[in-house]
A and B are shown apart, each in its own frame.
Chain A
Amino acid sequence: DIKIGSTLAMTGPASFLGDPEAKTLEMLVEEVNAAGGINGEMIELIQYDDGADPNKARTFAVRLIEDDEVVAIIGGSTTGTTLALMPEVDAAGIPFISLAGSISIIDPVEPYTFKTPHTDRMACQKVFEDMQKRGISKIGMISGTGGFGASMRKQCLEVASDYGIDVIADESYGPKDADMTPQLTNIKATDGIEAVLNPGFGQGPAIVTRNYSQLGIDLPLYQSHGVASQGFIDLAGNEAAEGVRLPGTALLVADILPADDPQTEIVRAYKTAFEQKYEMPVSTFGGYAHDAFRILVAAIEKAGSSDPEAIRDAIEETSGLVGTTGTYTFSADDHLGLDLSAFKMLEINNGGWTLVD
């Protein structure tokens, strides 16, 4: 048997990330095993729930490595848990694919750590590119103070000037906040604002979107890839969400993707399988886990062995692997393997996703 480990935020504040991620892994392992495993060997998946607690994540990493003796780890739903367990995988020499957003995970590159989601910096770049196209140069930001929101805010502030964008209002809200009208009122009252960007995930962006429409602010609103799921539209409500743009992945627009798009097939397959099995809509986050698993399986197949060292090398040599998020090509100094092209600018229209451009 090949033992693969995962530690994900299946519960706790990031459970809407960890839950679909864990479900995806479970589903894919079943699938692979049903098809005869990898190189004839069955996969045994050992999953732990770290509840987004970095200390727990680290302990589970040790457990996976020392006690369960896995050959690779997928996990870290959040940046905090990922950074916490990295020293452990590094010391033990176990390949690890993170599902978290921050650029700090792969920059600087650590030998055993890879990741599948676009970085928050790329999300900023994608958004700013779109703003530039629309001739927007002065924006307000309202960010969640949780890990994802805070980190993306920082990245956005860093790259804004590259796109000639001025952030002239900078507000935030806590992870459990239920009302953002005061912050939005301030943004609204700031002179010259042309658009608003909201980095964050969870219920926050949905509330922001609703408050935005309550206050009658009719400037373009941008969200991050942190809310790229049908759930977001449902929560915000079709009306409030109308016209919101965000950088997303092919997964969300599986149905309207041109048939010749390289991702179409894989995206639709995953979507159908997941939605059938779990009776809930797919999310980008499950997609990250999907990609991580595919990358890992491909690497093990290629390495022809389940030696961690060999797997790591094989991952690093991955090239042109098509996933739900994009097409991955890793190298010794790129452990993300995606570029901006894999990001699609999406807009919500009539309660559904449409591709901008």
Chain B
Amino acid sequence: MLEIKALKSAYGRIEVLHGIDLSVSSGEIVTVVGANGAGKTTLLKCLSGVQPVIGGSISFRGETMTHVPGHKRLKRGLAQSPEGRQIFTNLSVEENLRLGAFLFTDARVDQDMAEAFQMFPVLKEKRNLNAGGLSGGQQQMLAIARALMGRPACLLLDEPSMGLAPILVAQIFDVVKGLKALDVTVLLVEQNAFGALSIADRGYVMETGRVTISGSAKELIADPRIREAYLGH
């Protein structure tokens, strides 16, 4: 479904992705782990079109996407919950969610919103408040919920568990797992490598702009190099 070939990207003149090959099949959950600064966020930004690609290609559902402008990618089915949450701080929680479904005006929008509120009841409580006033974790929930409002075929999640209480971390992973049943493909970047690998089908390990290891989630969990570098004791 998502096919990334020899992808390169740079900030100014400094190249930070040096040729990434990665693929995600339809309905799969694929996770990317890696140390701080490995380039995971940059990779996702390339996929959602907010970061220029300087080499290689991205294709999605058989179409080349490499240079499609960012705002058109959601229409093609690619949604992202970005690093740093990037919510609309001056708009209300509800407006944030409504904008998540910016492309749609049908009745399903309300239904989706109701579902989002069900998933994160706090958001319902605070629906009319400025999203900027939310706590860190609440903002994270909003970012995830907003991405789901876009009815993605493929969801890109950048550290969705960050800042969430343990009880919610478990819930988020459940939600992600549940997306499979809805036929949503997920590319999951996570620091909580253990959690991520537990629900993923496959995984990639990134180091300084390159994919160094890849394989099925089971293999990776068992891989001593990964235990050593990412799972800790």
* A and B in direct contact, judged by CB atoms within 8 A: no
